[in-house]
Chain A
Amino acid sequence: MKAIKHSGLIVFLIGLAVFTGTIFTGSFHLTSEELDTYLKEKNYTNELIKSELEKAIVTNENLTIFEFSSRVRNAFKTSNGHYDALISKYNAEKNWDKKGAQYQYKIYGKPHTLSFDLAKIAGTGFVKENAVLVWWLTFGLAIIGALLFILPNFKTLGKPGIKNNGIYLESSTNRGWIAWLVLVYLVSFYLVLYFMPDYAVNWTFIFDPISKFLNGGLASQWFVYGFLYCTIMLVMATRMYIKYRHNKYQLIRTTSVLFFQIVFAFLIPEIMTSLNMPGYDFKNAFPLDYDFFFDWNLDTLNSSGAIGLFILVWGIVLTLVIVPVMVYLFGKRWYCSWVCGCGGLAETLGDPYRQHSNKSLKAWKLERWLIHGVLVFSLVMTVVTLYCYFTGAQSFLGINSQWIKDSYSFLIGAWFAGVIGTGFYPIFGNRVWCRFGCPLAAYLGLVQRFKSRFRITTNGGQCISCGNCSTYCEQGIDVRAYAQKGENIVRSSCVGCGICSAVCPRGVLKLENGPEKGRINPTDILLGNDVDLMKFVNKQ
Chain B
Amino acid sequence: MEHIVIIGNGISGVTAARHIRKNSDKEITVISAETDYFFSRTALMYVYMGHMKFEHTQPYEPWFWKKNRINLKKGFVSKVHSKLNEIEFSDGEKLSYDKLIIATGSKPNKFGWPGQDLKGVLGMYHKQDLENLEKYAANNSICKRAVIVGGGLIGIELAEMLHSRKIPVTFLVREQSFWNGVLPKEESAIINKEITDNGIDLRLGVNLQEIKSDENGNVKSVIIAETGEEIKCNVVGLTAGVSPNIDFLKDSDLEIGRGVKVNRFLETNTPNIYAIGDCAEQHESIEQRRPIEAVWYTGRMMGETVAQTICGNKIAYKPGHWFNSAKFFDIEYQTYGWVWAQPKENEARFYWEHESGKKCIHINYDKNTNQFIGINTFGIRMRHDFFNRVLNKKQTIEYVLEHLADANFNPEFYKLHETEIVAKFNKEHHTNIQLKKKSWARIFST
Contacts and interface: CB of A to CB of B under 8 A. Distances in A.
The answer on A and B forming one complex is: yes
Contact of B301 (A462, A468, A506, A528): A528
B56 A471 contact: yes
B388 A528 contact: yes
Given A460-B388, A528-B297, A533 B52 contact: no
Interface residues of A, number: 61
A507 B332 contact: yes
Most buried by B among A248, A461, A531: A461
A468 B52 contact: yes
A530 to B, nearest CB: 4
A467 B305 contact: no
Contacts of B382: 507
Given A510-B411, A511-B412, A462 B305 contact: no
Interface in B403-430: 409-415
B164 interface: yes
Interface string B305-340: 100100001011111110101110110101000000
Nearest to A503: B51
Interface residues of B, number: 63
B383 A460 contact: yes
B384 interface: yes
Interface in A233-282: 246-249, 252
Nearest to B139: A169
A527 B59 contact: no
B53 interface: yes
A393 interface: no
A524 B21 CA distance: 13
Contacts of B197: 159
A164 B46 CA distance: 9
B59 A460 contact: no
A459 B320 contact: no
A160 B176 CA distance: 28
B49 A464 contact: no
Interface string B156-174: 0000000011000000000
Contacts of B46: 164, 466-468
Contacts of B440: 514-515
Most buried by A among B313, B329, B413: B413
A160 B332 CA distance: 13
B300 A467 contact: no
A466 B318 contact: no
Given A460-B384, A510-B381, A467 B412 contact: no
Contacts of A166: 49-50, 164
A501 B415 CA distance: 16
A164 B49 contact: yes
Contacts of B329: 159, 161
Interface of B: 11, 19, 22, 40, 42-43, 46-47, 49-53, 56-59, 61, 63, 164-165, 197-198, 296-297, 300-301, 304-305, 308, 313, 315-321, 323, 325-327, 329-330, 332, 334, 381-385, 388, 392, 409-415, 440, 443-444
Given A506-B332, A515-B444, A537-B304, 15 more contacts: A164-B46, A166-B49, A167-B50, A167-B51, A360-B61, A461-B323, A464-B325, A465-B11, A467-B58, A468-B46, A498-B412, A505-B327, A506-B326, A511-B411, A536-B313
Which 4 interchain pairs have the tightest Cβ spacing? A460-B384, A161-B330, A507-B381, A466-B43
22 contacts: A160-B330, A164-B50, A165-B164, A165-B165, A166-B49, A247-B411, A361-B63, A460-B323, A464-B325, A467-B52, A467-B58, A467-B59, A506-B327, A506-B334, A507-B334, A510-B410, A510-B411, A510-B412, A527-B388, A529-B305, A531-B320, A532-B318
Interface of A: 158-162, 164-170, 246-249, 252, 360-361, 457, 459-462, 464-468, 470-471, 480-481, 484, 498, 501-503, 505-507, 510-512, 514-515, 517-518, 524-534, 536-537
